[in-house]
Every structure is written in C-alpha cells, then in structure tokens.
Copies of this chain bind each other. A is one copy, B any other.
C-alpha cells in the first residue's frame, strides 16, 4: 500500500498501524471496541474497490467494528487505475439515508468521515454474504421477505410518491454527482457485454454462441439500449444501485444490505430487477451444483416472495400517505382512479424490472464481473452450458416482458424455461 496519494487536505490512507490513533478520536468508540490500545486488526477487503478492516477488542471478540476506506484508485488494480474516492461520499450518504429509513436492514453507522472517505460501522460477525450461502445451497427463511421490505421502504420513501417536491430535489442533488460509478454501470452493464470488448469474459463455446445470438440480435440490443436510457434518465428514487447477492449479508434470522456506493436517483425497477437476476443466475447454477432441483425450487419460490413483499409493503406505504407528497394525489383522484394508477405503476415496475434483470443476467455472464455461482464452476463445458442457458433466458425474458403482467406469470415463465431446457438438477 502506498502513501503517495496522502497529500490531499484532511485525507490520509489508514494503514493498519494508524487505525488505533484514528479510532481513538471518535467519541464513545470504546463502547464498541473497548480500549483502543488493545485492538486486533484484520484486513478483510471487499475485493474490488476499497480497504476494509475488521477491528476487534483483543479481550472480547464480540466487540468488533468495520472500518471501510476508499483510496483514490481501484483497489483490485492498484494506483495505475485511478478512481475518485468521492464514491465513499455517496456510500456514506446512502448508508445514512438507509439508517434512517430501514435501520433493521443495514449496518449501524458508528462514524462517517467524508474528508477521510471513511466509514466506521457495525460488524456483522454472525452473518455471511448471501451469494456464498446460496452457492452452498442454504435456505434462508426470511431473506426474500426482508429484501422485498428493504426495496419497498428505501424506494417508496425516497420517491415523489412520498417526498415533497423540494426535499426530493435536495436529496437528488446530493447524489447527482456520483458520476464515476454511474458511468461504470452504463458501460459495464449496458454496453460492453453486448459487443466485442477487451474487458469481456471469454469461454470459447460461450463466445461462439454470443457472436451468433447476441451480437447479431438487433432487437435484443435495442431493448438493452432502451433500458440504458431508462437507467440514465428516470430519476425516480434513491437506488442502492448495486443490489446483487454479494451486497446482502444474512443468517437464519436477519438480513443486511451493504455497499451502497453506487447510490443515485434512478428507476425503482433497476434495484428490483438486479436482485431478482441474481436469484435466477444462482438457480441456473444449481442445475449443476449440489442444491439440485430441490434448491432451485426454493430459489424460484423466493422471487415471488421478494416481489409480493415489495408490492404489498409499497402499497401499504402509499395508502398511508396523506396529500403532502408530490405524486400521492388523494385530492385529485377517486379511490378507483388512484387504484388504477397504482396498478399501472406496479405493472410497469415489474415489466421494467424483468428487462433490467435480463440486462444484468447477460452482463454477469459475458461481462468482466461474472457471478461466482457460475464462474467458479471449473468444468468449462458445464460452465458454458449454464452460461448459454442464462443468456437464452435473458433473451427470452427481454422479449416476453411486456406480456408478463403479474409475478405469477414471471414464475411460470421461469419454470417453463427450466423444464423446456432440461435445466433441473438431480437432487429433488
């Protein structure tokens, strides 16, 4: 780790030996980690962008916190790939917003330091990354409903359905300049995977299929461009912005959503579609993984749980609104008229979520950042079979999305696809 970028006012890189002194300046930090002179410090890393440390009391491991700092380059690539540490500004702001909106689903922020691009937060000692758990075939009884609840509360409450006009624009203003990470999404989700690009993943059999069935499919690519346009211009609510199964930590009882550094005002359907796509990708993986059909059935059962919880909670929040928000027009429409507007709103959200899920599935298959669910399968032929299945399903969902008007229709579409393409695993 280098100190060469330490020269900006009020910022220095928190080498492990500097952590105790830094932490000791935080009021009441001893409540969380005891004596700052007696700490155990472990770098755990989030792998890609930042430095992440677990800091614990040497005498009581239950007393632990997480320290996360952004450095002005891409952590996985080193200083040769500069990346503004402003991203931490947006993570801090989104985490604070989520702490206000859904404290039960996000780590508690103990200390946020914009100048140092650092956040100190609750350590989730008893939870694991959802992706890892799902690769192992673990069924989490609450995860679907928790995710649906998280989506509804964070998205409804930061939309014009809930916020008044000025407050919403002021909040939007605090996220509009998250330009670098928005640009990453624009390129790595909506562009590079759909054309020959040096950053793309390569697996010969998959590559051939992609050349013949993705690069040549103008209709599909035009649909992708439509969703890029939505991503760019539909400033609907404060999104998490990167809600995949690696951004969720779980155990049997609890669910936490972490890493909202991609947060900005975008389409509600983007967050919804992205997390659903991660469930689908894992479902395909278990055709060949140990979970088999039994676990695939569980995953597919969770997608309607996510949606139905999201929908019912969203409608509950909507019906509770009085007329002080920008779009909850109780004085304008009758109950019937409002009901129709709500129905239309949610059908459009579902259909757009399916489109975004389709984009995400292709990106996670062809693009640079594949999902471990599939990429960690060593047998190239098996991997390619699953990759092509996910790409076929992406195309199928993109094309049929406008006929899917409720979540049961999505479930049937998925079930039929797995059956027709013999994608059920052995364990039943």
A interface residues, Cβ below 8 angstroms from B = 160, 165-166, 169-170, 172-173, 176-180, 182-183, 186, 191, 194-195, 218-219, 221-222, 224-226, 228-229, 232-236, 326-327, 329, 331-334, 336-337, 340-341, 344
Contacts and interface: CB of A to CB of B under 8 A. Distances in A.
- How many copies of this kind of chain does the complex include? 2
Contacts of A340: 218, 222
A169 B182 CA distance: 10
A122 to B, nearest CB: 31
A166 B232 CA distance: 11
Contact of A236 (B169, B233, B333): B233
Contact of A341 (B177, B225, B329): B225
Contact of A179 (B169, B186, B234, B334): B169
B327 A221 contact: no
A222 B343 CA distance: 12
B160 A232 contact: yes
Contact of A195 (B219, B229, B235, B332): B332
Given A218-B334, A334-B218, A232 B180 contact: no
A117 to B, nearest CB: 19
A327 B222 CA distance: 11
A228 B337 contact: no
A169 B86 CA distance: 15
Contacts of A179: 165-166, 169-170
Contacts of A177: 169-170, 173
A337 B177 CA distance: 31
A420 to B, nearest CB: 28
A186 B326 contact: yes
A340 B218 CA distance: 9
14 contacts: A160-B229, A166-B180, A169-B178, A169-B179, A169-B182, A170-B177, A172-B176, A173-B177, A176-B176, A191-B329, A194-B332, A221-B333, A222-B344, A228-B327
Task: In the A-B complex, list the 10 residue pairs whose CB atoms are closest, starting with the nearest.
Answer: A218-B337, A166-B179, A173-B176, A165-B183, A235-B235, A169-B179, A233-B236, A160-B232, A222-B341, A222-B337
A188 to B, nearest CB: 12
A170 B176 CA distance: 8
